[in-house]
Every structure is written in structure tokens, then in C-alpha cells.
Amino acid sequence: MTCSVSIATSQGEFTAHFSNRGLARLDFPGRKHHPDQTDATMPAARDLRRWQKLTTDALRAALIGAKPGELPPFDWHGATPFQQSIWRELKKIPPGQTSSYAELATAADHPRAARATGGACGANPIPILVPCHRVLAAGGRIGGFSGGLDWKRRLLASEGHHIRSAHRA
């Protein structure tokens, strides 16, 4: 059971889902909401207000390519250890910089798991705040994005990056 909150931004209305552990998921504008499948309980009203503000501020900052500042706690309950290690590495990528699936895999101590890293990125429930859009495939190719490549290009452009093409070079 989680608590869903709408977050209005210049890019549309996102939906954040909070559990008692923190931010559990962030949906893009227009996305269908995923049904609650967590065993978490509702967050306390005080926590919810605080996390909602942090999430809103961080999201709006991220959308203009600025540093997000303080983030709410993330609820990664249910994710595999591999996914969590990848997501932790993702959070280390600063705005305006990019990494590759292979680099991320190496940083997570699985140097050959570039492909699995792509899977972990795709499973990321909190895009933008966990910046999976900053991960490119080898050769600067765009790779993929759970929210759609259009979003990935838009987010990267706001941080000063310009991707060549979605196709293999």
C-alpha cells in the first residue's frame, strides 16, 4: 500500500508513490499508474509532506538540468541486490555528465554485466531522480529509456547533451 501524489512541473504532471520507507516509484506524465504490489504501509503524514516537497523540488531542478539538492529516501524494497548496486552507482553521476552501461557495470563490480545493467536501468522505478537517462551505450549511442527515448533526449538536452541518433552507428 502506498500513497500517490501528483507533482506538477513544467514538463507535465508526474505521479509519485510513497511508502512508509520513502519514494517507491515515479511515473511520467500520462503514464498509467502501476498497481500497488508492495507490502509497505502508508507513510506518516509528516513524512509524506516532507518527502513530497523534496521530491517536487528535486524533480523540478532535474528537469532544468540543475543539481537536485536533497532527495527523499528511496524505497527499493523488492529490488535485487544487483539492481540496487546499479541504482546506487547511477545516483553518483552528476548533472551534465554521462556514463555508459559498461562503466556502470564495472563500477558495480560486474564488469561484464553491461547488458544486465541495461535491464537494471529499465527496472528503475524512479527515473530522473535516479538518473538512468545519463547512461549511454558504447559509442555515445542513446540506448533506451523506460519513459521513452523522447524523454531521455529531452532530459539530456536540458543538461547540455545532444545525442546523435537512436540507431546503431
What amino acid positions are annotated as catalytic residues? 132
The reply to whether 73 sits near DNA by the rule CB under 7 A is no
CB 75 within 8 A of CB 22: yes
Given 48, 66, 123, 166, the residue binding DNA (CB under 7 A): 123
Rounded to the nearest whole angstrom, what is the least distance from the CB of residue 4 to DNA in the complex? Answer: 21
Q: Which stretch binds DNA (CB under 7 A): 1-9, 18-26, 68-76, 132-140?
A: 132-140
The reply to whether 145 sits near DNA by the rule CB under 7 A is yes
Rounded to the nearest whole angstrom, what is the least distance from the CB of residue 38 to DNA in the complex? Answer: 14
Rounded to the nearest whole angstrom, what is the least distance from the CB of residue 104 to DNA in the complex? Answer: 8
Residues 80-109 that bind DNA (CB under 7 A): 80-83, 100-102
Query: Rounded to 5 degrees, what are φ and ψ at 26?
Result: -135, 120
The reply to whether 112 sits near DNA by the rule CB under 7 A is yes
User: By C-alpha distance, which of 165, 164, 127 is closest to 146?
Assistant: 127
CB 30 within 8 A of CB 125: no
Rounded to the nearest whole angstrom, what is the least distance from the CB of residue 159 to DNA in the complex? Answer: 15
Contacts of 66 by beta carbon, 8 Å cutoff, 6+ apart: 95
Q: How many CB atoms lie within 10 A of CB 85?
A: 19
Q: Which stretch binds DNA (CB under 7 A): 15-23, 50-58, 69-77, 125-133?
A: 125-133
Residue type present at position 150: D
Paired sense of beta strands 22-27 and 99-100, if any: unpaired
The residue behind cell 552528476 is: 94
Paired sense of beta strands 99-100 and 3-9, if any: unpaired
In the complex, which residues of this chain contact DNA (CB under 7 A)? 80-83, 100-102, 110, 112-124, 127, 132-133, 135, 137-139, 141, 143-146, 168-169
